[in-house]
Structure 1
Amino acid sequence: MSKTVKIRMYNVGFGDSFLITLPDGPLILIDAGFHSRGKGEFSGDELVEQIIKDVKSITGAEDAHIDVVICTHRHADHLFAFNSSLWDQVSVGEVWLPWVEDRKNEKAVRLWKKQASFAMNLATALSSFQLNAADRESVEFMLWNAGVELPGMAAAGGWSNAKALDCLHEGFAYRRRTKPRFLPATRTFPESFSCPDLPDVVIHVLGPPRDPELIEELDPEADGETYRALAMRAAASGEAVADMSALAAFGPEWQVREDEGGAEDLLTRNEKKWLENLATGADALLAATHVDNMINSTSLVLVIEVGKARLLFPGDAEWGTWKRILADDDARALLHNATFLKVGHHGSHNATPKTLVEEVLPEGIPAMISTQEGPGNYRNNIPLPDLVTALEEHDMRHVRSDQLPERLPRGFRKGDDGKWIELSIPC
């Protein structure tokens, strides 16, 4: 009898959560997130309750144990349920995170400090922008998803992205490997490894980039003028600025002190006008999108190889990561032999390259789209109709979590009143 891999997609709405059952029993959980403005069948502790119930049912054990827990990146719609105290009832073998979540890595810590400063300056300055209701909702959505706590949007019970990350770093009832595994661990690309909790499984890591020289592309401060413009707006709003160093283009020895006379005469009229335009010319929606894209660019991109099955889980990786992957012969070879696709970023326009679907992935493989169509510019054209059409044209039978047909494609089944969909793949 042939062995199978089972992939269970939970209907979390605008978010991701997948439970993978490997032959002979090992379990992998990839993400456990949802967004307060895009919930599916679960709220608060309910997703964790469902996962624990399913784990016990699959293993037949009294206690819940997951062999590997993976969080692809730090957006709320991928990790928010890790706030739940119910994880104290679950033991794990290993936890995997992107390398940028290594709290002992100086470059990673500096990257997140800059990102947080950028996002907080935008949040502080938000009231100064003349945004219509839809654009403001989009900005607030992206900031909340990035972990910025905005007035009136604080989650119940003190839940936050930071608290969820603490669970991934230190939580759970028991951990065989006490510290997370940060991926990729080396600059080898693609990086491949195996671990004791997943016998006969090979993991191929295609993202995020590990090369320190590529960090600059993910750094919000790389767009210096927008960064400083947001800080100047925040200062003008009368609120505290997250990082006053954002306003300083030079060191203290070059700055004019407040008590130094004649400072206003140091700038020409044109230079003063340029500064005014800089402070008022920042684009809030563009800046929020920059924050969102930067975090998506840190997503883990994994190919999980189980026998003859190769499962592609790209998180929310965007074009920068895909460009690097598609340019590498070894990475393309892995994708060319994929037997399953988790469609990235809920089917958005910038997460699944046309080349990937039309030229690289095999025709006829199954796919899953964890998504939620609905109001709001942040969900505009999600999932992208052209992407769905491309899947259909290449005979990729697929399901989306928010729209279940009465008759599911071959290999898929629905369970627990539509709370999850499961796919069986030979391996």
Structure 2
Amino acid sequence: MSPIRLHLFVYQVGFGDCFLLRFVYPGEVHRHVLIDFGSMEMPDGVVAAKRLLEIAEDIKLRCNGKLQALVATHRHADHINGFATRKNGKGAGDIIRSLAPDIVVQPWTEQPDLPEDASAPIGSSAHAAYQQRLALRNMSEVAGSVLAQLDGQHHGLSAELVDRLGFLGRDNVSNLSAVENLASMGGKQVYAWFGSEDPLAEVLPGITTRVLGPPTLEQSDAIRSERSSDPEYWIRQRALMAHDGAAVSTAANSPFPEAESRRGSQLPLSARWIAERVRQARGEQWLQIVTALDDAMNNTSLILLFEAGGKKLLFPGDAQIENWRYALNQDGIAALLEDVDLYKVGHHGSLNATPKSLWEGFDKRGPASKADRLTSVLSTKPGRHGHVESDTEVPRRPLVAALEKDSTLHDTDHLAAGVLYEEVVLEL
């Protein structure tokens, strides 16, 4: 039995991802897969908590109270904070949990019970796997330290810097409730990496799901950014953040608590410019740290290719160039992706998540008149990440222009704020 049609529900979550795939089989038999559920910033005028609940209820309605599979591509908040639960049991994550997915798929870095002497994931050294998970945990703690120090201590930092630090910091905190919910829901937990066996074969008959990323550290340690190459670095960085926070708190933390001291705002006028520049430099260093966290976390993202009814659907989460490079350098992978029919644009349209070689290799790109033209789907909100001046804005304008020119683009930014989703139908 093979599916004959795909209904893709692209939910409007602003800067985030949430996709419900409905595979329709003969006789109107439906199989549902949810890929990610999170947002860092909703469309203007939309209350995040309310919207996440609305989407969770809509997902429950559309899948008739049952999910066959749930995929969390990586742990960034804009991909998983919708899975967070509430103490009263009425959170969006509680609703998704009630759908009892048969299989939950996450990247290998999320395996919760991986001890230092474990042999999993297969194909990676146990110690390297353990160290990578340790690094990710420490990264989240560093991000939390940045947020804690921003709270009520904006003096000396530009409003733009505070905004960027807050956005990246919130995206990289551990999202503990969502992480724990994902780790304990579902009948089967699968932690996947490049070349893993089909993780959804049991629940999606007639469909092949290939895992193209992330690689394990044994396959490629390039998924560690330069800043995360040594897990001990993150431990030191965490300690530095804690020390920095203590230094600007109360006099009781001083080695000379009874000595007279002056805060920056009490400095003589002739010296205040120094304090202001020191604080701004400190903020710029924090920004470098949380940006490195963001890159490292994105490189743990799953890349999934669904093959159904002669069609190919590519969902790369937020995979960035280091993650992609490994896949594209493997024999046959570039050729495998040439005839992709539907492309979920990586990392909300960022500059390093859609490699040019990948885009240029899509044979089904072309004008509107082209038969079997490529369909692209972009979930994003402009103005929240990067800068036009530095060619780092998300989504990148040249990429969006190429998507509009050479594919049938479905962009959540074009939806009205009150619209919950767009439905994309693909005949298989």
Q: Match for residue 271 of structure 2?
A: none
AA in 2 matched with 1:138:
R
Distance 1:301 1:373 in 2: 24
Is structure 2 residue 143 aligned with structure 1 residue 119?
A: yes
Q: CA deviation at 1:116?
A: 3.0
| Contact 1:72–1:78 (Cα < 8 Å) also in 2 | yes
Q: Match for residue 98 of structure 1?
A: 107
Q: Match for residue 119 of structure 2?
A: none
Is structure 2 residue 236 aligned with structure 1 residue 235?
A: no
Distance 1:183 1:32 in 2: 19
Q: CA deviation at 1:52?
A: 3.6
| Contact 2:4–2:309 (Cα < 8 Å) also in 1 | no
Distance 1:299 1:209 in 2: 10
Distance 1:122 1:303, change over 3 A: same
Distance 1:229 1:417 in 2: 42
Q: CA deviation at 1:292?
A: 0.7
Q: CA deviation at 1:139?
A: 1.2
1:313-359 deviations in whole A, cap 9, x for unaligned?
00001110111122123221221121100001111112111221123
Distance 2:47 2:31 in 1: 25
Between 301-310 and 108-117, report the one with greater CA deviation: 108-117
Q: Match for residue 257 of structure 1?
A: none
Q: Match for residue 17 of structure 1?
A: 18
AA in 2 matched with 1:35:
M
Q: CA deviation at 1:53?
A: 3.4
Distance 1:235 1:181 in 2: 39
AA in 2 matched with 1:137:
D
| Contact 1:391–1:397 (Cα < 8 Å) also in 2 | yes
Distance 1:51 1:120 in 2: 27
Among candidates 180, 195, 199, match of residue 166 of structure 1: 180
2:101 aligns to what SS in structure 1? strand
Cα RMSD (Å) of the superposition? 3.3
Distance 2:161 2:414 in 1: 26
Q: CA deviation at 1:120?
A: 4.3
Q: Match for residue 34 of structure 1?
A: 39
Distance 1:198 1:120 in 2: 39
Distance 1:14 1:181 in 2: 27
Q: Match for residue 330 of structure 1?
A: 332
AA in 2 matched with 1:102:
Q
Q: Match for residue 354 of structure 2?
A: 352
Is structure 2 residue 408 aligned with structure 1 residue 403?
A: no
Distance 1:120 1:42, change over 3 A: closer
Distance 2:167 2:382 in 1: 15
Distance 1:281 1:131 in 2: 7
Q: Match for residue 362 of structure 1?
A: 364
1:290-331 deviations in whole A, cap 9, x for unaligned?
011111111110001112111100000111011112212322
Give the fraction of aligned pairs with identical amino acids, expressed as a percent. Answer: 28
TM-score (norm 1): 0.73
Distance 1:50 1:324 in 2: 35
Q: Match for residue 158 of structure 2?
A: 132
Q: CA deviation at 1:134?
A: 0.8
Among candidates 219, 224, 229, match of residue 222 of structure 1: 229
Is structure 2 residue 414 aligned with structure 1 residue 388?
A: no
| Contact 2:144–2:173 (Cα < 8 Å) also in 1 | no
2:324 aligns to what SS in structure 1? helix
Q: Match for residue 420 of structure 1?
A: 421
Q: CA deviation at 1:14?
A: 0.5
Distance 1:226 1:26, change over 3 A: closer
AA in 1 matched with 2:207:
V
Q: Match for residue 249 of structure 1?
A: none
Q: What runs of 5+ residues in structure 1 fail to find an aligned partner?
A: 149-160, 242-275, 406-415
| Contact 1:29–1:69 (Cα < 8 Å) also in 2 | yes
| Contact 2:214–2:303 (Cα < 8 Å) also in 1 | yes
1:143-175 deviations in whole A, cap 9, x for unaligned?
111116xxxxxxxxxxxx11011111113xxx4
TM-score (norm 2): 0.73
Distance 1:9 1:397 in 2: 14
Distance 1:207 1:40, change over 3 A: farther
Q: CA deviation at 1:232?
A: 3.5
| Contact 1:9–1:17 (Cα < 8 Å) also in 2 | yes
| Contact 1:141–1:378 (Cα < 8 Å) also in 2 | no
Distance 1:236 1:287, change over 3 A: closer
Q: CA deviation at 1:110?
A: 1.8
1:44 aligns to what SS in structure 2? helix
| Contact 2:347–2:353 (Cα < 8 Å) also in 1 | yes
1:78 aligns to what SS in structure 2? helix
| Contact 2:11–2:55 (Cα < 8 Å) also in 1 | no
Matches within 5 A, 1:46-61: 46-56=51-61, 58=62, 61=64
| Contact 1:341–1:366 (Cα < 8 Å) also in 2 | yes
| Contact 1:72–1:315 (Cα < 8 Å) also in 2 | yes
Q: What runs of 5+ residues in structure 2 fail to find an aligned partner?
A: 85-90, 116-129, 250-277, 366-372
Distance 1:294 1:78, change over 3 A: same
Q: Match for residue 211 of structure 1?
A: 217
Q: Match for residue 9 of structure 2?
A: 8
| Contact 1:13–1:40 (Cα < 8 Å) also in 2 | no
Distance 1:104 1:378, change over 3 A: farther
Distance 2:140 2:98 in 1: 32
Between 130-139 and 219-228, report the one with greater CA deviation: 219-228
1:380-417 deviations in whole A, cap 9, x for unaligned?
63211100122234x21102101149xxxxxxxxxx96
Distance 1:317 1:40, change over 3 A: farther
